[in-house]
Structure 1
Amino acid sequence: MPKRSRSRRFRGTPRHCLPRQQTTSSDPPVAVVMEETESSRSHVFTASQRIVEQSLLSEEDLVEEMGDATQRSTGFRLIDLQCISEAMSRLHMCEGGSIAVTDEGKYNGLSCQLAFECTKCGKITSMSTSKKKKRSHEVNVRAALSMVELGLGREAFSRISCIFGMPSPSVQSSWEMHNKNIANVCESACDKQYIAAGEKLRGVLQLDDDSIADDTIIDVTADDTIIDVTVSYDGTWHHRGVQSSHGVGVVMSVDTGEILDAVVMSNSCEICEKTPKDKNSSEYQEWKTDHKAKGKCLRSHEGPSSTMETAAAKIIWSRSIAKHKMRYTKILCDGDNKTLQALNEMKVYDVAIDKLEYVNDIHKRTGTGLRNMLKSFNATIWQRCPKERYFGTAAVKRAVALSVLNWNIGCGGLLSVLESLGLPVNTFTKKALVLKDKKRKRTASERSSAVEKRKIGRVRGSLAGL
């Protein structure tokens, strides 16, 4: 049987795409041949280009509207009431006149200049919609912090501004500067909270010590005794699998349920990747050495992502004495014993580190509850750095710091960040944070009640079968 020839793919122009020609009924059909030229191949519109070309808005019209004070003075603005109060104290209005409010067209991110003009004499009183803190306007810092808490960025706030008809947020470079300042403040507050959590744990353990009299006043800050504690440890990744760029190791106290320490591991550095240099050149190697020596390189891990959990544990255990005057000698952790084995091979202490075993059902239920608490804490990290999007190492560290503050001290965490940034806290902020903590307690209580009801139901079911 003869072999069938492979049909060739049609590479011409479809007939329905050919230009129609005016012909009479007596004219014979004419074949049309279209030649593909270099210019026709290069002139290809993408979907985005086609949409932009068909847009009803033009840049020329926008420039013209921005120059019109009437068009500019519409929409919404984020205004500090204290700025209005100060402007009203300077306001001039003649008898029989009125006040016309216009946008002067001077913008610094979300902050803008408003003019209050007396319609009778023309005298103008100007005001800024936001106070300035050092180099930045307060409204721009608050906008950046709000997006950090929501796990979003500048583009998200730009959409909000668009819908409300407000000025756009700070340019990208300024926005990144705000994020950097927020990260520094959050990490500093988090380090203080680690110390406070350690002191609280020491106090709890000393209160449980029967050898200490009840009326003894203990200064835990002055106690340099190294004590052994039991902790729960877990690792979490930004993405599942071995392709995750970031991983976090977290250690939680079994006695207090507070986070004692956390470490972010990363196998990438945004600064290194964005440097436009030949990676094989001697100039790049010299820059990279200096980059690492100055502590600016954000890459902290070499190897697959699966080993980040063990690497983070080594860092956490090696600094437990220096940070808390404590030894984490018992670990409550699931999975295999790779982390425990690595720590014992490292010989961080002069005693062995043991894995906490469940000796009865009560211990097992307690251990399960602690494991769930750690999982819940890990989820709060990725709420601020959603797994669906890419985030750099600095953003993950910032998210971890905010999550630790929120987990350990609730609304007090964000309050400390606002105060450190020099942002005043008013009644509405306090009310929102108190309600958030109240909801958190109520949710935890409801979950606990639901678990207890299921346990009682199982017990009754087992008794009924007897």
Structure 2
Amino acid sequence: LIWNGDMSVAKREGLYCSLVFTCCCSHEIKINTSKQCLNTSKRDINVRSVIGANFAGIGHQGLVKLCAILNVPLPIDDDHFFDTLDYLLPTFESYKLRSMKNAVEEACKKSNGRKITVSGDGTWQKRGFSSLHGVVEVLSNGPTAKVLDLERLSKKCSICTGLLSIKYSDPKQYSESKNKHQCEINHVGSSASMKVAGIHRLFARSKMLYNVKYAHYIGDGDAKVFPKLISDPPYEDVSITKIEDVNHFSKKMLHRLQKIAESLKKTNIDGKLGIRGSGRMTKKMMINFKHYYRLAIVRNKTNLDDMVRAVWAIWKHKSSSNSEPHHEWCSPSYCGYLQALEK
């Protein structure tokens, strides 16, 4: 059978539209392409598109371009986009707080107390320590680390900046708006100091938020965070101890090797430029050095002398030849030369 009728779009809101099918007998069937969210006039597809655009980091303009490329209707306009964000924010905040509280309780259960081990890190909106905005967070310790608390730090307020346009033309409105709005600036100082100030702030409020104390801090090699926690202790009765992050520390071996290889790439060594290439310091070998360095630290963490010997054994083993063996600090567990002598 062939349907004899007409289809029209009765209403369109962003990615949502209401379709009306009218039969030749004047009977109408109305189909909505997306359901309406509870207690609001917003449509599910538009709300989800806003969430997706923010999670993907493309914003409204990126969403507009994506829809154009996919040849689908344009999303809701800019004003409705940000209105939807304001509508979603309380829900996100509530879920965020509930999720972090659950993560704290998991960490307390694992440590059998209210003094737990955490790691801290930070990120910036752009590289180069010139960013106006940054985020710091503390995470639980374990195979599946979870965020316990986070803080956004800003050196600039978009509303304050926008109000400057009416500062002299309408000083009354400028003063009223400036006093009413919630300023976004919560950090004074360099962008590089955001991580130090932010992590200290998270430590200081842990007792108030969760009734816990971060007694052990896993550092990532940053030389400024831990001294700040010691010089300005967030707790009166707890002395914070630092646990060095071996993974981050072992990366220094890789970075140093890469830096040396880069600095020598135009230097003639044994008839060849640099130290890279087949039979020399390859990328795979650099990664292996990092791995061996980490194992030397982990396997000898209770004995400094053995740790030093194990680290130097890496270099001695790799620099050895049949005519000049240097395997006196090697272990038969990995050294083929010593294994051959035992046979």
- Whether the TM-score (by the shorter chain) exceeds 0.5 is yes
Q: Aligned residue for 1:274?
A: 162
Q: Aligned residue for 2:16?
A: 111
Count of paired positions: 261
Q: Distance in 1 between matches of 2:9 and 2:117?
A: 62
Q: Distance in 1 between matches of 2:160 and 2:180?
A: 12
Distance 1:464 1:354, change over 3 A: farther
Q: What does residue range 36-435 of structure 1 map to in structure 2 within 5 Å?
A: 98-104=3-9, 106-119=11-24, 121-133=25-37, 134-206=40-112, 227-255=114-142, 257-275=145-163, 276-278=165-167, 283=172, 284-291=174-181, 296-351=182-237, 353-357=239-243, 364=246
Contact 2:108–2:116 (8 Å) recurs in 1:
no
Contact 1:235–1:247 (8 Å) recurs in 2:
yes
Contact 2:229–2:240 (8 Å) recurs in 1:
no
Q: Distance in 1 between matches of 2:88 and 2:4?
A: 39
Distance 1:99 1:158, change over 3 A: farther
Q: Secondary structure at the match of 2:166?
A: coil
Q: Distance in 2 between matches of 1:248 and 1:242?
A: 13
Please report the RMSD computed on the Cα atoms of aligned residues, expressed in angstroms.
3.2
What CA deviation, in whole Å up to 9, does each residue of 1:278-313 have, x standing for no partner? Answer: 17985334532332xxxx222211222111112211
What CA deviation, in whole Å up to 9, does each residue of 1:298-342 have, x standing for no partner? Answer: 221122211111221122011111222221122121344422232
Contact 1:103–1:112 (8 Å) recurs in 2:
no
Deviation at 1:104, TM superposition (A): 2.6
Q: Distance in 2 between matches of 1:279 and 1:252?
A: 46
Q: Secondary structure at the match of 2:8?
A: strand
Higher RCO (CA 8 Å, separation ≥ 6 residues)? 1
Distance 1:282 1:106, change over 3 A: closer
Distance 1:464 1:131, change over 3 A: same
Q: Distance in 1 between matches of 2:199 and 2:168?
A: 32
Deviation at 1:176, TM superposition (A): 1.0
Q: Secondary structure at the match of 1:306?
A: coil
Q: Distance in 1 between matches of 2:6 and 2:217?
A: 65
Q: Distance in 2 between matches of 1:175 and 1:188?
A: 21
Distance 1:114 1:193, change over 3 A: same
Q: Distance in 1 between matches of 2:56 and 2:227?
A: 38
Deviation at 1:354, TM superposition (A): 3.7
What CA deviation, in whole Å up to 9, does each residue of 1:18-77 have, x standing for no partner? Answer: xxxxxxxxxxxxxxxxxxxxxxxxxxxxxxxxxxxxxxxxxxxxxxxxxxxxxxxxxxxx
* Runs of 4+ residues over 4 Å off in structure 1: 279-282, 458-462
Q: Distance in 2 between matches of 1:465 and 1:237?
A: 49
Contact 1:144–1:179 (8 Å) recurs in 2:
yes
Q: Give the partner amino acid of 1:268.
A: K
What CA deviation, in whole Å up to 9, does each residue of 1:372-421 have, x standing for no partner? Answer: xxxxxxxxxxxxxxxxxxxxxxxxxxxxxxxxxxxxxxxxxxxxxxxxxx
What CA deviation, in whole Å up to 9, does each residue of 1:405-452 have, x standing for no partner? Answer: xxxxxxxxxxxxxxxxxxxxxxxxxxxxxxxxxxxxxxxxxxxxxx79
Q: TM-score, normalised by structure 1?
A: 0.50
Contact 2:118–2:217 (8 Å) recurs in 1:
yes
- Bigger proportion of residues as strand: 2
Unaligned 5+ segments in structure 1 are: 1-95, 207-224, 372-450
Q: Secondary structure at the match of 2:246?
A: helix
Distance 1:287 1:161, change over 3 A: closer
Q: Distance in 2 between matches of 1:157 and 1:253?
A: 34
> Which 10-residue stretch deviates more, 109-118 or 326-335?
326-335
Distance 1:353 1:249, change over 3 A: farther
Could you say which structure has the larger radius of gyration?
1
Q: Distance in 2 between matches of 1:115 and 1:351?
A: 70
Contact 2:14–2:46 (8 Å) recurs in 1:
yes
Q: TM-score, normalised by structure 2?
A: 0.66
Q: Aligned residue for 1:377?
A: none
